[in-house]
Amino acid sequence: MTDVTEQQTGAGTAGSTFAELLRLDELDENLFRGTCHAGAPLRAFGGQVAAQALTAAGRTTGAGRAVHSLHGYFVRPGDPRRPIVYQVERVRDGRSYTTRRVGAVQRGEVIFTLSASFKEPEEGAERQRSAPGVPGPEELPDPYAAWAEADPEGYAASALSRTLRMRFVPPGSPGLPPEVPGMPQQFVWLRAAAPLPADEPLLHVCALTYLSDLTLASTTALHLQEPRFRRSGPPRLTLASLDHAMWFHRPFRADEWLLFAQRSPSSSDGRGLALGEFYDRGGALVASAVQEALVRERRAPAADRPSAPGPRTP
């Protein structure tokens, strides 16, 4: 599954609100079905698959327990033209914590696995990393304007233009922390485009799970190419999420601006690692995310590659 910089939508699967994007039909106890739009041609967007899997897990837990962590693996590419069945396993219901495992299945094969933990709220001492003092979203240009001008049909068909808002903080902006050598970074403001119900915390958490998968993969490749919204030429890389983990620290609203501060400490062996932190407008650290992504350079078409003598390597 590729990140938002290459995202396209599948016909008939793109909703206009997060409630529609995360809607599931309950087929039986612990069994749900949903559909996902594409994140690349004929590949379901992994952020939506993960968010729907978390939605399925949350629908089998008590209302008083909030999700505090999730860990997922993208096993196979999903087909946006076919429904996805989510099978929930009730691993444990303890006095304070609840554990669920979810398998997302298409054509009898698992395409994604999720483990999620929920807990009762409790009091405790607090501390957190300080939020970077970057420009606010109101001071930054809307990248969709350039996208709509460059590709009107793609913009009109995209789920992104209807469901979320985003603002990229340009490199060199005041307040950006200095970049550590070997660790590229990017900062993006994100929020749902339409208000979400205040009394449905699971919907806000699942919406943030969707949002968290939009730009992490591109962060791992900033040393090789810029994201689509800041890039003039065609993509030179194939990016795909391999796994995804999140921790939810404090209450938040996904329909209010959240700063996604991202950095990538390593890229090697065709894989890149990205770390991300979500801050609200008040500077509270509300969630953290970690993702490993496949990073491969795209080969030029055969007609454009120079011929070489000798046998071809496999």
pLDDT digits (tens, 9 = 90+) for 52-98: 999 999 999 988 899 999 999 999 999 999 999 999 999 999 999 99
This prediction's pTM: 0.87
- pLDDT digit string (tens) for 106-123? 999 999 999 999 999 999
Per-residue confidence (pLDDT) for residue 111, from 0 to 100: 98
Q: Which residues are marked as active site? A: 213, 241, 291
Q: How confident is the model at residue 26 (pLDDT cuts 50, 70, 90)?
A: very high
Q: How confident is the model at residue 202 (pLDDT cuts 50, 70, 90)?
A: very high
Position 143 pLDDT exceeds 50: yes
Q: How confident is the model at residue 157 (pLDDT cuts 50, 70, 90)?
A: low
- CATH homologous superfamily of 4-121+138-298: Acyl-CoA thioesterase, double hotdog domain (2.40.160.210)
Position 10 pLDDT exceeds 50: no
Closest C-alpha among 123, 119, 122, 104 to residue 61: 119
d(CA 107, CA 82): 9
